[in-house]
Amino acid sequence: MSTFSRRAGTLASVLTIFFSLGWAQVTWAHIEGGQAAGFITGLQHPWSGIDHVLAMIAVGLWGAQLGNPAIWLLPIAFPMMMALGAMMGLLGIPVPGVEIGIALSAIVLGTMILAEVRPKLAVAMAVVGVFAIFHGHAHGTELPLGQSGLLYSMGFVIATGCLHALGIALGLVNGLPAGKLVLRGAGSFIAAMGVFFLWRTLT
């Protein structure tokens, strides 16, 4: 086949695509309101508070520092217990000292990273799980009116998981020569921020 006929074929294909796209008919699908907004709101919510963000990143960092299987199991425990906390909030079951619990989560998780504490896996999961209840209770109950609860929940859980993943990714510096020091520095920063959150809560 000659170069000319090949080019002519390609040109014909491109022209067909171009004109066909311009010819598309109007389609009327089910029109629903608030669906995308619910997902986006849920996706944005975990990023809206620095205390929440730091705690979730800390979970990922600590998991990365502890290695397998904690690197995976801590981010499994956190969203499930967080959802449990949110459900408790939605049911009206009070959790005392929610804001203090959130501040303490940053202090404790930051200290664990700073001191490279390596407890048994069950203990690490329990620590993360208890603090996740406070975070869920505070943040998981704020569905704006008219938005899809399902899509909000999906966005909320996915964003939480992404923050853990960010923490794990940052925590991979642990494998580098100076990485351990950097990770412990990050832990000290998170713990210091936790002290600030606690001071702000108590004053």
Partner 1 sequence: MKLHHRRSRVPNRLIATFSLLLWPPYASAHLVTTGLGPVYDGIGHLVMTPEDLIPTLAIALLAGLRGPASGRRALLFLPLAWFAGGLLGSSVDGLPTVPVGPVSFLILGALVAADLKLSQKLFASIVIAVGFVHGVFNGVALKEGAGILGLIGIMATLFVIVAIASALIVSLKPPWTRIAVRVAGSWMAAIGMLMFGWLIRGQV
To the nearest 10 degrees (0 to 180), the angle between helices 149-171 and 35-44 is 30
Stretch that binds partner 1, among 94-102, 105-113, 136-144, 178-186 (CB under 8 A): 136-144
* Cα–Cα distance, 94 to 174 (Å, whole number): 39
Per CB under 8 A, contacts with partner 1 among 16-55 are: 16-17, 20-21, 23-25, 27-30
For the CA atoms of the chain, what is the radius of gyration?
Answer: 24
Q: Where do the H-state alpha helices sit in 23-97?
A: 35-44, 50-66, 70-91
- What would the two tokens of residue 29 be? 């699908």
- What would the two tokens of residue 73 be? 């199991």
* Cα–Cα distance, 203 to 132 (Å, whole number): 24
User: Residue 90 interacts with partner 1 (CB under 8 A)?
Assistant: yes
Beta-strand ranges (E) seen in the chain are none
User: Residue 158 interacts with partner 1 (CB under 8 A)?
Assistant: yes
- What would the two tokens of residue 110 be? 């930051």
Of 95 and 195, nearer to partner 1 (C-beta) is: 95
Total binding residues toward partner 1, as defined by CB under 8 A: 47
Stretch that binds partner 1, among 53-61, 123-131, 148-156, 177-185 (CB under 8 A): 148-156
Stretch that binds partner 1, among 65-73, 94-102, 103-111, 181-189 (CB under 8 A): 65-73
User: Residue 4 interacts with partner 1 (CB under 8 A)?
Assistant: no
Chain residues binding partner 1 by CB under 8 A are 1, 6, 9-10, 12-14, 16-17, 20-21, 23-25, 27-30, 68-69, 72-73, 75-76, 79-80, 82-84, 86-87, 89-91, 140-141, 143, 148-151, 153-154, 156-158, 161
